[in-house]
Amino acid sequence: MKRGVLLTLAVALAAAAPPPPGALVCSGCHAATADPGFPPIAGRAAAELEAELLAYRAGTRPATVMDRLTRGFSPGELTSIAAYWAAQK
Ligand code: HEC
């Protein structure tokens, strides 16, 4: 019995791709139930999310916190984070 439970757990963990570094801090503000000031990001098109994140980083999109936050990441890291959130529900 115990081995069966462990196997199920291992399969479940393998099925979920590990989030890229930094991707989990986003959910603190962008949870599905968050208030309208924090738009949901899960399941949105990856290219759209990436473009917004890069614009925040470049300072070309108005922001209160996202400009500072995205500057902590390289453009490549933001691409990975955008892909991760696009794949979430
Ligand atoms: C401290 C709270 C906070 C955290 C953490 C945070 N965000 Fe945001 N996010 C905001 C706010 C507030 C806005 C609205 C723009 C602004 O004021 O900076 C926003 C806007 C956005 C938008 C634009 C949404 C739209 O439709 O206009 C995207 C995309 C986004 N955030 C992605 C992310 C990602 C990816 C992360 C994790 C790396 C993240 N955010 C972490 C607060 C946060």
State which of 50, 65, 84 you would mutate to test the pocket of ligand 1, scoring each by most atoms of that ligand within 8 A of its C-beta: 65
Q: Which residue has the higher pLDDT, 65 or 14?
A: 65
Residue identifier of the C-alpha nearest atom 31 of ligand 1: 66
- Cα 59 from Cα 35, distance rounded (Å): 24
Report the distance separating Cα 26 and Cα 17, nearest Å: 17
Q: What is the mean pLDDT of the chain?
A: 85
- Specify the CATH class of 19-86 in words: mainly alpha
List, for residues 8-29, the tens digit of each pLDDT value. Answer: 544 444 446 789 999 999 988 9
Predicted model pTM: 0.85
Contacts 24+ apart (CB under 8 A), 49-55: 49/81, 49/82, 49/85, 49/86, 50/78, 50/79, 50/82, 50/83, 53/78, 53/81, 53/82, 54/78
